[in-house]
Structure 1
Amino acid sequence: MAKHFLLIAGLSGLLAVMLGAFGAHGLKAKITPELLSAFQTGVQYQFYHTLALLLVALLLLRFPEASLFHWTGYAFIAGIVLFSGSLYAMAFGGPRWLGPITPLGGLCFMTGWVMMVVTAWRLP
């Protein structure tokens, strides 16, 4: 599973760089400042949690028996998709009903961090 998380982290990091550059250069004149700010927040949180996913992958290489780290990685991936994805979609003109999905992504991020703490506490 560590290899899969490393691959997803690499792809997510690449996508975050591409989206960040697109937001800075391609969207600035096309969307409102509020939507651009939301888009940039999505990029920031994608970067943060891409790095967190990379950390999870490395921890799994060191502690393969710590199965809760698997769920931590899944929670971070779900958070990136739900939180950042919903902000991207809304910036691109997606329906407003996507707004309530964003906090679910935040909940996934928080769940991942709690699971990391619990797993770290249980390590020898």
Structure 2
Amino acid sequence: MSVRFAQKTIGLGALGMMVSVILGAVGAHVLAGILTGKWLQVYQIAVEYQIYHSLGLILSGLLILYYPSCKALVAVALLMMLGIILFSGSLYLLVIFHYSWLGIFTPFGGVCWIVAWGMLAWILIRYRLHHK
């Protein structure tokens, strides 16, 4: 496992957190007066889930450093990234452009996250048991 990949994963997670804070502020201070209730709620969900999964990226990167021989952690990090793009990204675009077809990508992002968190749980349980 590459230390460089872990560092990039942690950096992308931190960048994702920064972008989440900026987008959250834009939503609260700019878009709140422009968007209707439904669209503002969709936007807020995108920001909220981007925050959670940016933290997941940071955690994944740290775990890659801690378990450098565990190749599956790379898949976890990639699934977290893909989930952010598909879930939050599609919701941001949906709110901006109002193209309802963009919503088709959102569930795929959710599935990426479900698989990533499930894999992460399996990895941590397996390694915990393995190292006893």
Structure-1 residue corresponding to 2:112? 108
- CA shift at 1:69, angstroms? 0.7
Alpha-carbon distance in structure 2 between the residues aligned to 1:9 and 1:87 = 19
Unaligned runs of 5+ in 2: none
AA partner of residue 55 (structure 2): L
Which of 10, 14, 20 lines up with 1:10 in the alignment?
14
- CA shift at 1:94, angstroms? 4.0
Superposition pairs of residues 64-103 of structure 1, within 5 angstroms? 64-103=68-107
Are residue 49 (structure 1) and residue 53 (structure 2) matched?
yes
Alpha-carbon distance in structure 1 between the residues aligned to 2:39 and 2:50 = 16
TM-score, normalisation: structure 1 = 0.96
Alpha-carbon distance in structure 2 between the residues aligned to 1:91 and 1:24 = 14
- CA shift at 1:10, angstroms? 1.3
Runs (4+) off by over 4 Å: none
Superposition pairs of residues 19-58 of structure 1, within 5 angstroms? 19-58=23-62
AA partner of residue 83 (structure 1): F
CA offsets 1:40-77 (integer angstroms, 9 cap, x no match):
00000000001111111111111111111110000000
Contact 2:11–2:58 (Cα < 8 Å) also in 1: no
Q: Over aligned residues, Cα RMSD in angstroms?
A: 0.9
Structure-1 residue corresponding to 2:125? 121
Count of residue correspondences: 124
Identity %: 36
